[in-house]
Amino acid sequence: MIDIHCHLMPSVDDGSKDLDESLSMFENAITSGVTDIILTPHYIKGTKYSIKNEGKAKITEILREALRRAGMDVNIYYGNEVYIDDRLPELIASGEVATLAGSKYLLLELPVAAEDNNAGNIIFRLRSNGIIPIIAHPERYTYFQQHPEKVDKYLELGCLLQGNYMSLLGKYGKKAKKTLKTLLKEDKITFLSSDIHHKHNDYHIPEAEKAVLKIVKDEDKVQKLFIENAERIIIKNIKSA
């Protein structure tokens, strides 16, 4: 698996609290078959979750060295899970917000309960700047749970969708599970990721793959959702995932 959404970067958000916890989580990931990880700490303008790219780069290098010393073989990169903000193009240009592994893809978080009326304009500006937003865990947003067809507007604007596969195993409740199943059946999800936060969480990849296969009924699609589409981000492929 290639994980494009997780919170293993220590001491920067509500994920890993320190280096020891991060290393424990990396060990868990490697044991579970994860080969590449994009670290995506939250970025929410005006809050404590606002570490700049320079800081993220330094921490990523510290983690790489710690992994090397521990003999853990995994490739790591950094990005952000960015809460939607009308200044996003400027935040990217100024080096506050990171795209995924230096690619043209941006992991974008939307409000949970109420749809942002300005989202379309923000996404249009991002697309005009060559950025492709990936909407994080759409199954968790109330308005998509109530009206899954609302994701079509975002897809038409050029967004992609990243589901949290743990939703299929019940982590976020029945509504999130049902919504992700619907989006998978309709072939609207491009990536499946862990969104893992702490060492007591597990990756549960085999169980998740079985659950996904039962829905999409195609092993090639399962591989694309867990690995192949994410590979295109890692290698900075200019083609859309």
Packing angle between helix 53-70 and helix 19-31, nearest 10 degrees? 60
Report the pLDDT averaged over residues 179-193.
98
At residue 241, the 3 state secondary structure works out as: coil
Separation CA 75–CA 44 (nearest Å): 26
pTM, rounded to two decimals: 0.95
Cβ proximity of 7 and 16 under 8 Å: yes
Vertex 222 angle, CA 76 and 177, to 5°: 95
Q: How far apart are CA 38 and CA 55, in angstroms?
A: 15
Look at residue 237 and tell me whether its pLDDT is greater than 60. no
Burial category of 211 from C-beta neighbours within 10 Å (exposed 0-12, middle 13-18, buried 19 and up)? buried
Domains (range + CATH), the chain: 2-234 (3.20.20.140)
CA distance 109 to 210: 27
Closest CA to 57 of 79, 37, 72: 79
Residue 236 has pLDDT above 90, yes or no: no
Q: In what order do the strands lie in the sheet with 105-109?
A: 42-43, 81-83, 105-109, 132-136, 160-164, 191-193
Bin 21: left if φ > 0, else alpha if -120 < ψ < 50, else beta: alpha
- Over the stretch 202-222, which tens digit does the pLDDT of each residue have? 899 999 999 999 999 999 999
Give the residue-averaged pLDDT of 157-163.
98
Kindly report, residue by residue over 68-81, the tens digit of the pLDDT: 999 999 999 999 99
